[in-house]
Structure formats: structure tokens, C-alpha cells
Structure 1
Amino acid sequence: MGMVREINNVLADLKEWKEKNDLINCKFTLPISYLLNNKDEELDFVHEHYAEHIERSEILKKLLKQAL
């Protein structure tokens, strides 16, 4: 039960661009692991961000652009 609640919390945080967002903060969670294992070209920025090839401000720009 606790794991399901944690996954739901992480997914909810991914929808909001607040300071505790795991994607922005490069935390490794189950949903983030899924994104990192996905080879979709649209998710290349996630791989670049976790490999520290792009700055946090750049990841925010890319995420906001995709949300629009």
C-alpha cells in the first residue's frame, strides 16, 4: 500500500513544476526509472538531464514547452 501511495505522489509531483519535483531534482524513483528506460526520442532530454548534460533551467524550458 505504501509503495502505491509513493508512486502516486511522484506522479502527481511530475505534473507540477515545484521544487520537490523528482525529475527536476534528478531523483531516482520508479516512474523516473521508467522514463530513463524508455528509448522514445521525446524523452532524450530526460536522459541528458540525468547525465548532467543540460542545466536545470534548460530542463524546465523543455518541460514547459512540451506541456503547451
Structure 2
Amino acid sequence: MSAATLPHPQGTVTGNPGNVDHYYCCDDETALCGADLAGVPDGPEFDEVCPLCVLVMEEGAPCPGCGE
């Protein structure tokens, strides 16, 4: 599992409308929450992580791409 930053989150619900970091697995252009990460720099940058990505990880849901 890796992290990427998304300067302008799309389709992500957070308590803070600002920027959040996202997690991804095998496809570095699609976050676990489904956000488009194409062209987004890799690595943590913000103080808050996307709660939907965190939920996917906590629930142990398989990656839609590789199934892991």
C-alpha cells in the first residue's frame, strides 16, 4: 500500500474541505476511495488522510485492481 497526495480532492467526504492524502495499491492513478490520482505527486504531504481510503484499509477490503 502506498500514499499519494491529491491537491484538489474529488468525491471525498472529509470534515475539512482542504487537501488530503490518499492511499493506493497496484494502480498509482486510482486511490482506494476511487479518486483519480493521475498526475498527482507521490508521497504524504498533508496532515489529513482521506477517511474513505482509511476505511477501505481498516476493513481489509481487497484492491479492485489486484485483489490484495
Q: TM-score, normalization: structure 2? A: 0.28
Q: Which has the larger radius of gyration?
A: 1
Select the structure with the greater relative contact order (CA < 8 A; seq sep ≥ 6): 2
Higher strand share: 2
Higher helix share: 1
